[in-house]
């Protein structure tokens, strides 16, 4: 079993930055690839970013590429999502998740094994 806890969400104005954190426990952090997803009201959960077990490879949705950065700290069992130049359309509940799936499946939420409870990010215009 793996437990994940997100933090760092909040209400910001457009153009601002936030850093989300996801702390993990229960299993070896480096055994999993990690991903961030988000879900806005009335919309499906969508992929945001993922990082490989080693941290050497990252993947981003086109909508956040160049603005968001995913990183991990194995010593702290924590993965981060640095979000810059936030836009109102980034408003959503952000979830972190872990997966044992291969690289080709990291943008697929159904392939993730464990999820956090989510943290709200609201960007005002």
Rounded average pLDDT over 34-40: 97
pLDDT of residue 85: 98
Beta strands in 1-125 (DSSP E): 3-7, 10-13, 18-25, 33-39, 46-51, 58-60, 68-73, 78-83, 92-99, 114-115, 119-124
What sign does the dihedral 117-87-105-55 (CA atoms) show?
Answer: negative
* pLDDT exceeds 60 at position 29: no
Q: Which residues, 6 or more positions from 1, have their beta carbon under 8 angstroms from its beta carbon?
A: 26, 27, 114
Whole-number average pLDDT of the chain: 93
Averaged pLDDT for residues 40-69: 94
pLDDT for the residue 89: 97
Question: What pLDDT is recorded for position 25?
Answer: 86
For 55-109, how does the pLDDT look when each residue is reduced to its tens digit (9 = 90+)? Answer: 889 999 999 999 999 999 888 889 999 999 999 999 999 999 999 888 888 999 9
- Give residue 2's pLDDT band: very low, low, confident or very high (50, 70, 90): confident
pLDDT of 5 above 80: yes
Residue 27: what pLDDT? 67
The alpha carbon of 113 is separated from its chain's Cα centroid by a whole number of angstroms, namely 14
Give the whole-angstrom CA distance, residue 3 versus residue 14. Answer: 32
The order of strands in the sheet holding 78-83 is 3-7, 18-25, 78-83, 68-73
């Amino acid at each position: 079993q793996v437990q994940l806890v997100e933090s760092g969400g909040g209400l910001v104005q457009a153009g601002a930055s936030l850093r989300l954190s996801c702390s993990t426990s229960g299993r070896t952090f480096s055994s999993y690839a990690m991903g961030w997803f988000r879900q806005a009201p009335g919309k499906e959960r969508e992929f945001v970013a993922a990082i490989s077990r080693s941290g050497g490879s990252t993947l981003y949705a086109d909508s956040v590429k160049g603005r968001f950065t995913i990183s991990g700290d194995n010593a702290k069992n924590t993965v981060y999502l640095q979000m810059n130049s936030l836009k109102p359309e980034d408003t959503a509940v952000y979830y972190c998740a872990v997966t044992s799936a291969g690289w080709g499946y990291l943008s697929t939420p159904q392939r993730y094994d464990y999820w956090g409870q989510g943290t709200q990010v609201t960007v005002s215009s």
